[in-house]
Amino acid sequence: MVRFELGRLGRFCLFIGLVLLVVFFATDQSQHPQVGFFFGGLILVISGIYLIRRDWKPQPPSNRFRLLRGRNKNKKEEPEDKKSEE
* Residue 37 · residue 20 · CB < 8 Å: yes
**Least confident interval from 2-6, 19-23, 53-57:** 2-6
Domain boundaries, the chain: 6-78
What is the number of helices (H) and of strands (E) in the chain?
Answer: 3, 0
Spatial separation of the C-alpha atoms in residues 26 and 35, rounded to whole Å: 12
* Residue 49 · residue 12 · CB < 8 Å: no
Chain segment 22-34, per-residue pLDDT in tens: 999 999 998 888 9
**Residue 20 reports pLDDT greater than 90:** yes
Spatial separation of the C-alpha atoms in residues 11 and 37, rounded to whole Å: 18
* Residue 42 · residue 16 · CB < 8 Å: no
Chain segment 33-78, per-residue pLDDT in tens: 899 999 999 999 999 999 888 877 788 877 787 777 766 665 666 5
Higher pLDDT, 24 or 86: 24
